[in-house]
Chain A
Amino acid sequence: MKKIIFLGCLSSSRYKDTCENAIKIIKFLDNEYQVLENPPCCGALAHQIAPIEEIRDHVKLVNNWLKDNDVNKLITICAGCYNYLTRYYPKYLGTDFNVKVMHLLQLMNEPENLKKLNLKYPGKKLKIYYHDACHLRNAENPIIDEPRNIINSIEGNIFLGEMENTKINSLCCGAGGGVYSIFKENSDFSSKLIFDQMRMPKALLTACPFCYNSFIRIKEENNIKTPVIKFEDFILKLMEGVDPISV
C-alpha cells in the first residue's frame, strides 16, 4: 500500500516551488509519502461542463491509476482536488473508491504533527489573515478550524486577524469553475472585496492555488502592498527559520 502526495494540476504546472515546499513538509511529518510520476488531473474543472458519462470515465481512469499504483492514502495541497476527491469521487465510484483523502492542512493539524512541527516565529509583531477557499469550507468534511489552529500554535508575536466575511461566511475569490478564463470581472470584484475586508494586514495566506492566482493579479493591478503567501510556503519558511513574509 502506498501513501502519495497529489499536488494538483495548477500547482504542479505553475507553482513548482510551492510543490517542493509542500513535499518537504509532508515528508518531514511522514516519510512514507511519495510523489508519483505523471499523475492525472482530478477533473474538477471538467466537472462543470462535461457530460456525466465522460466525467464517470475520467473519474474511473484516475481511480484505476490509483489502484494500479496501490494507493490507499492521498494528501492533496489543492482545495479543488480536496473537494472533488472527497465529495464527488465517492458519489461517482461508490465503494470502488477506497482512498483516504486528506488535505495538507488536516495533516499538519494532527496534534502529534503540530508538536513535531513546533512552529516558532521570532520576529516582531505580525498580523496575518487567512482566506477560506470555497472548496475547503464547503467540502463534505469542511476545513475551517485546521488552518486557524495551525497559526495559533505558532509560538511568538503572531496574530490571526479575521475578515468581516470569514469562515463559513467568507467570500469566494471569484476565480473558480473556470470563470477566471472567461470573465475575470468576477475576480476583479470579489478578490478586491477580500483585500478591502482586511485591517492592517501584514500578509494574506491562502491554501488554494486558484485563489492565489486571482489574489496575485488583483494585488498587482491595484498596487496593494500586502503580500499574498501560499500556506505551505509560509509554514516551510517558519520551519527553516526564514522570515515567513519575505518574498
Chain B
Amino acid sequence: MSERGKELYNEIKDKLEELKNENSAYAQFNEIWKMACAIKYKSYDLRYLYEDTSREFVDEHRDHLIKMKEDFVENLDEYVDKCIKRMESTNHFRVYLVKTNQEAQRIFMEELGDNKVIYKSKSLEAKDAGIMDTLKKNNITIKETDLGDVFCQLLEYDYPSFTLGPGIQFTPEEIVAKIKEKYGVEVEPEAEAIVNYFRNTYRKELLKDVKVSLTSANAISAQDGSIVLVENEGNISIITRATEKHIVVAGIQRIVPSVFDALLCAKIQERIINVDGAYISFISSPSNTSDVQGHRVFGMYGAKEVVVILVDDWRMKAVKENLFYKDMLKCIGCKSCDLVCTASRAFGNIYASKYGIGAINIVRDYIHNGIEAAVADGLFLCTGCENCTNWCPTGVDVAEMIRQLKRIATKEGFCPPTLEQYKEKIFREKNPFN
C-alpha cells in the first residue's frame, strides 16, 4: 500500500470512528438511512400500495428495459441525432450537444445571460457536468426548490445525501430553529407546520420571481423529443411553467428510444421508491398558442423558451472504446442499487461521493476525478454481495464496475494490505487462510 493509500485508508477509518458518535453528521444520516433502506428493500415484495408488488412490476418489464438499453447503447449516435432533430424541428427547443463538461458550463453561463438567480430541481446531471460548481464560482444565487434540498441549503449541509430524499436526516426541531434564526419566524416543529410555512412563503416566490429555471430529465424520448420529469411536490411543474426560460441539462444517456420507454423509466423510478410521483410532465414544446387566427406564438402562460443542453463528455468515448463504465449509460437513476446495498445500509453517506451516496456515484467520481477520489469515497467498503447487479431493472452490472475500480485501485497501490495478502496467498499458496 502506498503512502497516499494509507492516508486515504485512515481517512475512511476516521469517518467510521465518527459514525460511532451519534451527534456526528454521518451518524445522523445513517440513523434514518439504514432503517429506510431495510424497509424499502423488504417492501419491494409487499403489496401495500399497488395491486402488484414493485418486484413484480420491475420483473414484468425488465427484459424489455434491458433490451431497450442495449439497443440504445449500441446505436447511441443514431438515437442522439434523431432526438436532437425532433427537439429542434418539431418541438422548437434550442438544443446544444456538447462534447465536454467545460463546453456545457460555458454555454450554460451564456444562456443565463445577465440573470443572477437560478431556480432549480433535480441537479445531478448539472452537477455531473460541473455546472453547479461554475455557478457558485460566478456568484450566481442557486435556489433549490425541492423541499429536501431547500432544507440542505438552509442548514448549510454539504455532506453527500440521498438524491431522492435529501434532507431526510434533519429533525423538525433543527429545521424550525434555523427558520427562526434566518427569517425570524416561529414555526411549530411539526411536518405539517413546516410544509405550510414554505407553501405560504416560498410558493408565492416561485410563482412570481422565476426567470430562469434548471432541471435535468428523468428520461428523454428520441421518438418525439419529449422531456420527461417525475416529481411529487409540484415544484418542477411550477418552475418549468412559471418561467421565461427553462434550461434542461442532461447526459445523453437519459435518451430512450420511444415515448413509451420514457414513461416506463419514469414509472420504474416511482415504483422502486414505492411512492406516487404525483406528477409526470412530458414537455414537448415551449408554451404556445395559435388562437390569434392560427398564428403560432411562443410564450403563452408557460415557459417562453426551452433550452436543452445534452452532455456527451465521457459517454460516447465509453461506448466507442468499450470502457468498463460503459454500463453507466444504461442507468436510469432509479436508485434501486442504493436501497439494496450492504455498504450503503451500514455506512450511509460515508460510502458516497460528492455526487451523492452509493456505488453509482462512486463510479461517477472515478470518471471525473480519478481512482484516488473513488478510494476516498469508501470504495473498499463494498462487500461484493452483488445485490446491486441482481436488482438493477436495466441490467447495469454495478458489481463488476466496482470490482474494476478495486482492481485499478490495487494496481495504483491503494488496496488495503490484508486484502492484498489474501490475493497473494491465493495465487502463491493456493489458499488464503493457510
Contact = CB atoms under 8 A, between A and B. Distances in A.
A172 B415 contact: no
Interface in B407-427: 407, 409-411, 415-416, 418-420, 422-423, 426-427
Given A49-B407, A49-B420, A41 B387 contact: no
B200 interface: no
A51 B45 CA distance: 38
Contact of A171 (B342, B343, B380, B382): B342
Interface string B37-48: 010011011000
A87 B433 CA distance: 23
B430 interface: yes
A165 B44 CA distance: 11
Contact of B380 (A13, A183, A190): A183
A147 interface: no
Interface string A167-184: 011011011111101110
A183 B403 CA distance: 17
A181 B418 contact: yes
A17 interface: no
Interface in B381-422: 381-387, 389-390, 403, 406-407, 409-411, 415-416, 418-420, 422
A42 to B, nearest CB: 9
B390 A176 contact: no
- Most interface-central of B389, B406, B432 (chain A CB within 10 A): B432
A164 interface: yes
A10 B425 CA distance: 13
Given A48-B419, A165-B41, A176-B383, A58 B427 contact: yes
A196 B355 CA distance: 33
Contact of A41 (B346, B380, B430): B430
A80 to B, nearest CB: 9
Interface SS, B side: helix
A101 to B, nearest CB: 17
Given A45-B426, A189-B34, A190-B345, A177 B407 contact: no
Interface residues of A, number: 44
A12 B423 CA distance: 18
Contacts, number: 137
A134 to B, nearest CB: 4
Contacts of B55: 168
A46 B426 contact: yes
Interface in A167-216: 168-169, 171-172, 174-179, 181-183, 185-186, 189-190, 193
A116 interface: no
Contact of A178 (B387, B407, B422, B431): B422
B162 interface: no
B433 A50 contact: no
Given A48-B419, A49-B409, A189-B346, 9 more contacts: A14-B433, A43-B426, A45-B432, A51-B407, A134-B342, A169-B45, A174-B346, A181-B418, A186-B346
13 contacts: A14-B433, A46-B426, A49-B407, A135-B385, A135-B386, A138-B386, A172-B387, A175-B383, A178-B422, A179-B343, A179-B381, A185-B347, A193-B38
Interface of A: 9-10, 12-14, 38-41, 43, 45-52, 54, 58, 83, 134-135, 138, 164-165, 168-169, 171-172, 174-179, 181-183, 185-186, 189-190, 193
